[in-house]
Amino acid sequence: MKVLIIGGTGHIGKNLVKMLVDEGLEVIVMSRGIKPVDESPQVRFIRKEYDRDNRGWQDLFSAVKPDVIIDILGTHATAIYETGKLYCKQFILCGSIWMFGEPKIVPTPEITQSECIFPGYAKRYAEMQNLKERAKQDGIRFTAIMPPNICGPGKIPLDCYGSRSIENHKNHALGKPVPLPEPGQTLIGPCDAEDVARGFYLSVINPENAADEIFNVGSSYALTARQFVETYGKIYGVKIPIDWCSWKEYSEEINPQITAHYHFKAHMCPDISKISSRLGYKPAYTPEETMERALNWMRKQGLI
């Protein structure tokens, strides 16, 4: 089987490539070439811009003829599907649990919860639902993987301000106080990139059970915001004091950027029961373990 991964050199992709190679599959990694890839007899690298150029995608797919197309980047999914469906038997797309909107149910199942307030995610979610229906009509197996906050080695993890700042992590390591909106019970679900990749891998090797499905992936449980801060304190070996404040003060004055403070407003605790029952998904890392893995990686890179 020949698997084409679009965005295969990133945080998720590197883990996925290894899993598919270990399975004995032929892997083609498509990337702009910014990050290196280790080529082997089972892994080919193709440099291409990620764009809406249908002719470029047609040329790529006609040359490669992939059985499976995995689009981890997801922002040009329609162009890729339209040109790739002539060749592939399975199309796998990456989304985000944020696409479902602010949760009304926790753990959150794979259904719309409320209006998604992030235009980019809202547009991609509508496109995903449309492609799911079109793929069913076209006889293509469609699967979408919806991760929560991605963590683990290879990327700066979410900090206690809802960003990915090295400076914030340095301050956490010094035990400097962090503000949090009361009561600090919002759920945060760090999921290791390896466990996210596992969802894609299982979809490839179980195509019939993955067909026409949207699957959450994630850790087996989530942390409250308070526990999230406390976990960083334990890993860094310090006590990180919490300065409690109202939501209004936090969101309007202290941390006004919505993509940052939303982590402390909306629960991020995906229900992973469907992918567990249908594909045998089982996360390897707890939230605490993946946070520690990420910080150990930062130490090895000399970032902190």
DSSP letters of 225-251? HHHHHHHHHHHHTS---EEEE-HHHII
Q: What percent of the chain stands above pLDDT 70? A: 97
Element (H, E) at 6: strand 2-6
Helix, strand, or coil here: 11? helix
| CB 269 within 8 Å of CB 104 | no
Q: What is the tens place of the pLDDT at every residue in 82-126?
A: 999 999 999 999 999 999 999 999 999 999 999 999 999 999 999
| CB 199 within 8 Å of CB 259 | no
pLDDT for 34: 60
| CB 262 within 8 Å of CB 162 | yes
Token couple for 25: 């599959």
- Which residue type sits at 49? E
> Largest Cα–Cα distance of the chain, in whole Å?
58
Instruction: Please determine, for residue 37, whether its predicted confidence score (pLDDT) is greater than 80.
Output: no
Instruction: Give phi and psi for 244, each to the nearest 5.
Output: -75, 145
- Which residue type sits at 51? D
Residue ranges and CATH numbers for the domains of the chain are: 2-150+192-218+270-279 (3.40.50.720), 166-187+222-268+287-300 (3.90.25)
Q: What is the tens place of the pLDDT at every residue in 238-282?
A: 999 999 999 999 999 999 999 999 999 999 999 999 999 999 999
| CB 6 within 8 Å of CB 76 | no
| CB 91 within 8 Å of CB 140 | yes
pLDDT class of 207 with cuts at 50, 70, 90: very high
pTM for this one? Answer: 0.96
Region for 238 from its dihedrals, namely left if φ exceeds 0, alpha if ψ lies in -120 to 50, beta otherwise: beta
State the Cα–Cα distance between residues 175 and 92, nearest whole angstrom.
Answer: 42
